[in-house]
Amino acid sequence: MAAARLGRPLPGSSVLFLCDLQERFRDSIAAFPQIVAVAARLLQGCRILGVPVLVTEQRPEVLGPTVPELGAQDLPRVPKTAFSMAGAAAPLLGDPKIRSVLLCGIEAQACVL
């Protein structure tokens, strides 16, 4: 079987989605500090390349804000009440230039749906 080939993210046609990396999950998600550290490096790389970033927060009034160590304080956050990011991401996903989406988050079965 041939190996799957991943595309290369390009600044003009890629977007980074950071999903629900929030305070309330800090003590309930295994390896949360490591997940956030990797997400922070990915965010830093996307900033350098000029890749747009979407940060979502699941019910922030209940689950708290995005963790500060992610380094996304200057980015707008899109609150959501559905597990999926599709509604929050609709404006970016509707852009015909976007061909690659980088997904980063926790709870893959729910958040990165």
pTM comes to: 0.84
Fold of the CATH domain 20-105: Rossmann fold (3.40.50)
CB atoms within 10 A of CB 65: 15
User: pLDDT tens track of the chain, all 113 residues?
Assistant: 455 556 677 888 999 999 999 999 999 999 999 999 999 999 999 999 999 999 999 999 999 999 999 999 999 999 988 888 777 777 777 888 988 888 888 876 776 65
pLDDT at 11: 85
Cα separations in angstroms, 19 against 3, 16, 104: 28, 10, 6
pLDDT at 85: 79
**In the chain, where the domains are located:** 20-105
CB atoms within 10 A of CB 7: 9
Question: Rounded CA gap, 17 and 68, in Å?
Answer: 17
Spell out where the chain has E strands.
Answer: 14-19, 53-58, 77-80, 100-105
Total residue count of the chain as it appears in this document? 113
Catalytic residues: 20, 80, 111
Contact 56, 20 (CB under 8 A): yes
pLDDT at 5: 59
